[in-house]
Structure 1
């Protein structure tokens, strides 16, 4: 497959090269989704489009085509932003979505052997179980990219190959052209994550309509949610009968939401579906019976068989997952080895040979006692297990293929964190790959690792931790941040350099991982993906004694009342100390998640003294009520939290109560940490308790009366603290909610950037993020009240938070500098989410050209002011600042000369930050071309610092009033402790 549309060259050469036009040459498609869209029996139930203001959308800048046809409405624009603006300008009005009929779906038998119904009816031991397979795949960000180009009477569409005969006729009918005028080119964007048969036809139809209307290449990036398929799932019911470890009967029935038969655009435009072979053979595994010699077997569907055949690969994956999971359940019920049970029913010599090769490569001892545990001994609270799965498919063109997987996992018994540690995979095929389709073993290892990790990814939510996993320099799809599994190859995979690897290779993956989770924990998950949260909840449900106390509104009300009373009690009971966990108690996945949680929460920033050990405490924190010293949070038993139970740790984080029962001062931001999710809280505890213990006695906090009376904090909490976990806003995007969770909870941004009242509590509402102070530094407003000469944008916020420097605003200094260093450890998407959330409190961002003009105007104003200034302050500036900050003086010392005219601090009402930087300097930002700035506390006196600060204000912010009483401010800040 090609790398991506960004790597293609020009429209003129793209067709000859087999690549789509480059991204810069493509218009961007935006198609409206009918409200309430859903699929029943392969057909859509969609609202009718009543009205759309086509001319209003077409009049906007950058719009090249607007297509409104019956209930289809779409635009093609130069940029995605312009396309979205035009879609809103359509002001579409829709009817209510129609209701589905109440007639039950008919059952159709697709394939059978023997008489499964009779065998099940008379069986002594029968088993019935339900499984689900998400149509969009194991991730809800499934997407598909298609490029279409109408040129010289030919429609060329670049897309993942799927149902070519049917799709060619459907696109021709949609545009009113002959099928011979449609050319389909097999191509896939590397960032796509979806079954091609599910989304590609819809994306192709959308792109074709808009390319035909505009006469230019159009790219359509379609997500499952846009066609009502994000949450769609295929249901598989399996009924089986066994005698001992022998399976006598097997019946699988597919039902639920099925894949669409035709592109959505055909339905919306009221285009009659052409008479064609819409259900090309594809992979024959969609209607195949189990590849095992079971005397009575049946495969049936509830609904239109055509709907199930429309996406054969998806249907085949669903069947393999359900069947191989069910066989594992039968093996457990009969106390049989899962691999031995399959081999006993597998009389295909080639398939049986592959199974034995994979088992041998995975060190699976088939001669061992079947009743003995297969999982490795657990270390601490880490549970290990492994699972097997097998698949056999038939393609009418490529012939038969066989694949088998052994997945090995680690599960943290406390948090549910899951890691696939090793995968042994084997593949065999009757077909030989053409030279251009040959796949290297290294590429297969990469794909296997990515598939295994995607299956264990949580559904993206406000407390999901994505990561950027790489293998040999190649980027994999975003997966939870943890180590990639080891991959072992068996069968033809292990003996050939060029392989016929394809989508059927990973068919056993989901079942193998699910079976490994069961082997490790006894928890059976019957729908992928397998997130830590689902495993944790399943483990809690399986734990005796937890069920009753968590049920019933009476218990919930009693717990709420107890929480209120606990808040009011001035003294709280101590929580008994516990022995520290043994090394290896927590899984690697939990520790990695905890490391990221700690970085997002800036734990080390406040709990590490200058020159001290990490998290050993002792940092003085200046407050209006006195100096508070941070505590030792390493797992040292004597001076740290080594003997704290999780209950004690959680109480401190959510309620501000020490293990010994005394109340903690709210300089420790438990008011924000209360919003942390349970999973993140447990991972953070595991990470801190697994660190190296450091013995460090920190100074005791001694505040003046009455602030030293800790019981009074009970009343403070009653007024200003709500012990509530973060609740996402359903009206906001997933990115906004993720940013809100990180900023409001772990990142506790408002602790510094919001003003406080006379009792030291943060002020919310309209004053949220409107500016505050921290450790002698001003924390500027993050809203539209910002004093920045050029408005902050989401892009600028991301650049600043990610690299510590934004060209239109300056570099991170003071308490913000170490925060940026911690943020550098987070995945990029998390930092983007924070920037997106914070930007939502500002004014709408101007266009880049407007921002550039504003910056140029500020620079020009500064240059004019410089001509009127001189004297001793000018000479101080020339000797201390000009060489690094003035573009016309020498060469750039560190790759870039940051502009002082655009520096936010110089435009503030307060001089504190400018004086602090002059006195103490600032470190080099972690990810930029800037260098460190030296401090002048030892070389310039208070008067000189004041003169220089006033000069900088007059020269670079000439429209602002002069700062007053600078020498006293310099003396005060110089005397304050440095951090």
Structure 2
């Protein structure tokens, strides 16, 4: 414990400071504004204009309903009761102004200041000013819980955070009480689902509701509720040096900037904004030397400068980065060490000598000398030069940090680290390989235990790989972002060799505050960046250090005199482009293609686990099993009948069985099929196999998919032969079709769009082949693009509705609704997934959440301006009221059929919820469509396996209702739930046709 009455630093098991037992808690629920975003440090949100507090208070279990400004919350005996009351509130919101207005301005605090930096800058012989952005991790999936108790005029708050910063002052301002009446009980987060970054938001919500209810209230917040996406620590450094190379002035300003929306981890509690409470600003005294605020000590350079200025731009209250000290430390160390290397290059000094010139820390200087000696450090002019196209370089970096501590007595721990990184750069591709690392680490934590050299080697390799892998690439998979190991068959995924790790100087254990070996690897990023500069002259000031960035920079460095004249180059480029296009057209139009010889299947264990895992995700995104699994058949063994306007096409066996599957296909044959639609034996494939979309897939993803399929269990299953009628059975005609309608070009990212949009486009246009079903086709079966892209199509006898501006959904789709539908198979304002879409939802469930969000983001971009949640809810209520009015004019046998078969599951006023969520038919897209096909399909076949457990299964009525009853019911549902739409024609004929067609029920389970 801290020894203070107002702040208790509790252990993981708080003991006497445990909150009351769970039976005494109230469940808190806060209704967030439908529009919530952060712009340049201010909140932009919808305004609360009304709600039905009376209806919510009347519900059982509700202890309090609190409305204050734009804050709206409920506390009830149970979480379901709180959620039910939240729905009863029917909150109404007003769209925010386009320009954000806030009474909570950015503040700049002085962290350290001495000397006259301005005068030193003016007198300098040389100056440098640079920005060093450091991206923080994505924040969508995080969340946190907190509890608060109001009793006897005092507030007690339990939260999983060791450094609450300005929270006490903020809670005091929020409740209008003195800080002496607030006790914070803090402990380290016990579970992986508790992210202390958001503890202050949950604590403020819980405090407000506890103060209102006079009880203990528990609240959980999720990052996506707070408008959180990604933040960037941006460090701006200006320096000046004298004629002899002495750094005379060093000025640092750091801030957390937003990319997309600001990081709420640095903002005051959201409740302060919503209640329009002025946030208290905690002033921080200037510090004259390194040390000071141990929570963020790495912001201070570890060197002596005659003039120093370090400032930090904060939102009101102290910035909350305490749960990620390694992230903050890496950002600051990267900036300082990169800038020192830039100064050394600009002033023609050796980087190590420059650091020692300004390093007064005896222990740190000793570590720097030992590591440099162990690495045989030499000035640049004395090192071997590059050979041929491989450029080699070495980079140095140093870190001195204070780790808030787990040393004896809980005191802060001083830690020193130094690295020399060695790299090789391919000047043609820009690819970087870290070939060696010499490092040393010293710490006040003591010498017992040591550091596992093997683990440290792996940590160094991982750090280097993370720096040199471009996570913004469209084909980057979170679960498989490391190169494959020992996978000789896949050159594009071949492993970079683990760097040789040499230890120079002391090597002692790092504090657990920064994580295993985290303090040791703090210099990794600048050391690698400095080595790349040493090798190539390319200065990378932001990770990741992608080969493409280096390649482009090297091209820009090329000697202008060695390049062809502009006119000649342009003429040559046109000739090359024309020749390439002609060759491509010739190959595409060839009616016969040579077979590719069969190969022996690879043995067990040939592919790495990382490659197979990446391939599993690629297969899930491509819905391979959806089409290649027959009803009651083995996964991917083929045989599913695909109805097309040209006849029935049967999917093939894609398991690695040699005789009936693809076990004897080489990767070259597999890639040709995926990109060009050519079978291994040279036959043209029909575009029911969407190679027109799969061609956009990256090489790495195709190679991983091949490995995944080849590593699966082979299944001997002969699929039925596809035998279309003349002339569609003439496969060579597909060569002309390809010439007209197919481009084998891979996906190209749009530089004007965000990384999320491009990731969504890559998945939706390529692997996910959304347009294969959701775009109309011309008379020759080719997808129509342009304005008709995603304008609606057909799939296996089902209507695939339009997804963009042509959508006939009664309530416009929003990005959040699309995400909910794709992730769970249900969107409240639209309905549940059925037919061929249901197994697609099962496959999407295997993907990381951020991938599904990216697809939703991309698809939403094709719609009109999206309504906010309040407007969408108002539209939904209007539609439901209209259907209720129509019901009073309808009756007869069809109405009785509806009451007996449908009402209990689809009407909120009919009995209790027995079978899960009650989807509103007034909002169902199918009932508002131009054709009754999907409605009839659902009535005939039901929904036996809903996408989420919250949805009850829908029984099939094909056997229990005859054609006359089903026709009556279809007409009744149309009249009642879409009264503004005309009656459907030819319902009888459609019903007869669909009864005769096979149902889509692939029997496969996701491969979790």
CA distance in 2 between partners of 1:567 and 1:431 (Å): 66
1:349 is matched with: 362
1:976 is matched with: none
Say which SS state the counterpart of residue 131 (structure 2) adopts.
strand
Structure 1 stretches lacking a partner, 5+ long: 2-12, 471-479, 786-791, 802-807, 858-903, 915-926, 929-950, 971-979
2:536 matches 1:513: no
Structure 1, 266-275 or 652-661: larger mean CA deviation? 652-661
CA distance in 1 between partners of 2:85 and 2:366 (Å): 55
Say which SS state the counterpart of residue 780 (structure 2) adopts.
coil
2:159 is matched with: 159
Correspondent of 1:296 among 302, 306, 315: 306
2:195 matches 1:172: no
CA distance in 2 between partners of 1:210 and 1:712 (Å): 67
CA shift, 1:181, in A, is 2.8
2:92 matches 1:90: yes
CA shift, 1:183, in A, is 1.7
Correspondent of 1:527 among 529, 533, 542: 542
CA shift, 1:206, in A, is 3.2
CA shift, 1:469, in A, is 10
Correspondent of 1:682 among 688, 695, 699: 699
2:894 is matched with: none
CA shift, 1:255, in A, is 5.3
Summarize deviations over 1:554-607 as a string: whole Å, max 9, x none.
99x999x999998996875899999xxxx9xx9998896566435533679999
Correspondent of 2:401 among 392, 395, 405: 392
> Is 2:589–2:735's contact at 8 Å kept on the other side of the alignment?
no
CA shift, 1:110, in A, is 3.1
> Is 2:131–2:234's contact at 8 Å kept on the other side of the alignment?
no
2:873 is matched with: none
CA distance in 2 between partners of 1:369 and 1:390 (Å): 21
1:269-668 equivalences under 5 Å are 269-271=275-277, 282-283=293-294, 286=297, 289-292=300-303, 294-301=304-311, 318-330=331-343, 342=355, 345-352=358-365, 365-367=375-377, 388-393=397-402, 398-404=411-417, 428-430=442-444, 464-467=476-479, 501-502=513-514, 506=518, 512-513=524-525, 515-516=527-528, 519=531, 522=536, 524-528=539-543, 530=544, 536-543=548-555, 593=614, 596-597=617-618, 600-601=621-622, 624=646, 665-668=686-689
2:249 matches 1:239: no
Identify if the C-alpha distance between structure 1 residues 262 and 682 changes in structure 2 by more than 3 Å, giving closer, same or farther.
same
> Is 1:462–1:737's contact at 8 Å kept on the other side of the alignment?
yes
> Is 2:777–2:793's contact at 8 Å kept on the other side of the alignment?
no
Say which SS state the counterpart of residue 157 (structure 1) adopts.
strand
2:795 matches 1:772: yes
CA shift, 1:340, in A, is 7.0
CA distance in 2 between partners of 1:409 and 1:142 (Å): 35
Identify if the C-alpha distance between structure 1 residues 706 and 96 changes in structure 2 by more than 3 Å, giving closer, same or farther.
closer
Correspondent of 2:781 among 760, 776, 793: 760
1:55 is matched with: 53
CA distance in 1 between partners of 2:43 and 2:851 (Å): 36
CA distance in 2 between partners of 1:208 and 1:419 (Å): 52
CA shift, 1:746, in A, is 0.7
CA shift, 1:89, in A, is 1.4
1:140-289 equivalences under 5 Å are 140-141=139-140, 143=142, 145-153=144-152, 154-161=154-161, 164=164, 166-189=166-189, 190-191=191-192, 196=197, 200-214=199-213, 215-221=215-221, 223=223, 226=226, 230-231=230-231, 233-241=233-241, 248-249=247-248, 251-254=250-253, 263=269, 265-266=271-272, 269-271=275-277, 282-283=293-294, 286=297, 289=300
Say which SS state the counterpart of residue 217 (structure 1) adopts.
strand
Say which SS state the counterpart of residue 219 (structure 1) adopts.
strand
CA shift, 1:393, in A, is 2.9
CA shift, 1:666, in A, is 2.2
CA distance in 2 between partners of 1:229 and 1:836 (Å): 13
Summarize deviations over 1:796-839 as a string: whole Å, max 9, x none.
987999xxxxxx99999xx999x999879755775898899999
> Is 2:28–2:74's contact at 8 Å kept on the other side of the alignment?
no
> Is 2:684–2:734's contact at 8 Å kept on the other side of the alignment?
no
CA distance in 2 between partners of 1:964 and 1:905 (Å): 10
CA shift, 1:323, in A, is 0.2
TM-score of the superposed pair, with normalisation by structure 2: 0.56
Identify if the C-alpha distance between structure 1 residues 753 and 106 changes in structure 2 by more than 3 Å, giving closer, same or farther.
closer
CA shift, 1:542, in A, is 3.7
Identify if the C-alpha distance between structure 1 residues 797 and 519 changes in structure 2 by more than 3 Å, giving closer, same or farther.
same
1:813-852 equivalences under 5 Å are none
> Is 1:354–1:426's contact at 8 Å kept on the other side of the alignment?
yes
CA shift, 1:322, in A, is 0.7
> Is 2:46–2:94's contact at 8 Å kept on the other side of the alignment?
no
Summarize deviations over 1:771-819 as a string: whole Å, max 9, x none.
633xxxx78979999xxxxxx9999987999xxxxxx99999xx999x9
1:678-757 equivalences under 5 Å are 681-685=698-702, 687=704, 704-705=726-727, 708=730, 742=763, 745-748=766-769, 751=772
CA distance in 2 between partners of 1:232 and 1:662 (Å): 51
CA distance in 2 between partners of 1:957 and 1:424 (Å): 79
Say which SS state the counterpart of residue 700 (structure 2) adopts.
helix
Say which SS state the counterpart of residue 698 (structure 2) adopts.
helix
2:30 is matched with: 29
CA distance in 1 between partners of 2:683 and 2:556 (Å): 33
CA shift, 1:147, in A, is 0.7
Identify if the C-alpha distance between structure 1 residues 708 and 133 changes in structure 2 by more than 3 Å, giving closer, same or farther.
same
Structure 2 stretches lacking a partner, 5+ long: 2-12, 258-264, 287-291, 483-492, 597-601, 659-663, 712-718, 809-816, 827-831, 864-875, 881-904, 919-934, 950-955, 968-987, 999-1008
Say which SS state the counterpart of residue 467 (structure 1) adopts.
helix
Identify if the C-alpha distance between structure 1 residues 830 and 151 changes in structure 2 by more than 3 Å, giving closer, same or farther.
same
Identify if the C-alpha distance between structure 1 residues 543 and 794 changes in structure 2 by more than 3 Å, giving closer, same or farther.
closer
CA distance in 2 between partners of 1:47 and 1:820 (Å): 32
> Is 2:623–2:843's contact at 8 Å kept on the other side of the alignment?
yes
2:132 is matched with: 131
CA distance in 2 between partners of 1:747 and 1:392 (Å): 47
CA shift, 1:91, in A, is 1.9
CA distance in 1 between partners of 2:196 and 2:436 (Å): 25
> Is 2:397–2:526's contact at 8 Å kept on the other side of the alignment?
no
CA shift, 1:423, in A, is 9.2
CA shift, 1:515, in A, is 3.8
Identify if the C-alpha distance between structure 1 residues 855 and 31 changes in structure 2 by more than 3 Å, giving closer, same or farther.
closer
CA distance in 2 between partners of 1:569 and 1:315 (Å): 53
CA shift, 1:349, in A, is 3.4
1:112 is matched with: 114
